[in-house]
Structure 1
């Protein structure tokens, strides 16, 4: 008797009932976006959704952080893979403790290898020559540093200070504390776009004065960073920056460190501004390490001299 073969069994996956995965890069640039991701009751970065599991880059404009209802219960944020954290607009609302309290939860939930502190570009691109940084941000970086060196600190805008009265912000001769001085950082990349030559020199001078005080006249014994890049540097400021170490009386070890790690650039290439070629092996190693960091993080070739 002929027995027909059974039709092959076709296995199909059951349709997924869960939400679609989020992109790996998330930007918060509206209040509704902040609420969607971070709201205490329904934010998708919290349990039970936990949709932040695959997010790698988080870009937050502080102006759109929305306060929550007092006393609202909340699940912890789940952002285990965030490696790049960008914070925008902090220079304009440094005294807004309520917003900073909500930002503190985000900072505690991540451990980035790359942190961007970006000036507010509203109002025609204006950025102050110096500004205060809220302790919430400073303390977060100090906690990250306890767990390992931050690979890259990207700054756009004026000098970030931890404490200074408003009347001293524009005074290049008034020493200010660098807000991130206690952070352990491999590379600092500082974008000076939209600044006049005088403002750019003032910012660099503030930084070098802070470095001189904190690292070579103070108790700190490690170098501030292994590579320092000032990008979008006005060409008219270059000679004045070359003369800054002498003008402000930079300690000799600080001068050598600066010669080894400092680069300036125009966005396409970077260059050293001093032509010294040290014979000390330790300094040669520091110079090579700085150049490798530039290549690794910016993917551009350091040139011998950019504006010779």
Structure 2
């Protein structure tokens, strides 16, 4: 993928590259929220880049008054086409499927990128969005997350504004029925997250019973390639035993790093320098109990996670 560069006036290819780079993080965030997969999002960005530069190379750029809107339109349509392939993969996936976690970098000089990528919704919300139709999800993401007007979305999707409003209404009603409208203060969420991680990785059943909500659900995604259950576990007693037993079998020697995953305070578990699991907790609206636990151990979904995020950032820039 191209990096930011300076180009002389009249260099059409260079100009096209610069426009794409200027909007890359926005396009990434939109597509990721539609797909829930970093790898698929990167593929869609590559397709978007090829479509964009192909049009510029054919001298068709003069008719584009708003490059930002045009790039989003290309990317959204590529993402909708990609959904079919993702759905086919899901049909043969081993065990529970969870979205690919988006782990924020720790490097302080990535603040601009973190601000843009923090527009991605929580992992729990991405699970809910999986139950929408592709068009409903596209409308929800563009309107609710990025603030696009229904008329703008209609142009992106080539639908009437009335049709977009209907899609938006159905999607919003579906999501709000499954997700609380209010969330606890970030500091409360951070404290609850750290309490849960200490209890679960320490195998402290009593502490787990105190922090887990009675109807908690634990989701584990290993994709058949790492330790994980085949189905979600429901209820506080079963969840506490599962987590305590998991810690007893696998907890020794792990290094826990607290990072933000999809905008929420979470835990990234390393075995040596390799990522072993990402643990994301969804809390009750009050923030004092854990309502859902999402544990991703599938190594394919952790491939972009690095222990030393500063080094990872330098690798990408090289």
Structure whose alpha-carbon radius of gyration is higher: 1
- Select the structure with the greater relative contact order (CA < 8 A; seq sep ≥ 6): 2
Q: What TM-score range do you get, normalising by the shorter chain?
A: under 0.3
Structure-2-length-normalised TM-score: 0.27
Whose helix fraction is larger, Structure 1's or Structure 2's?
2
Structure-1-length-normalised TM-score: 0.27
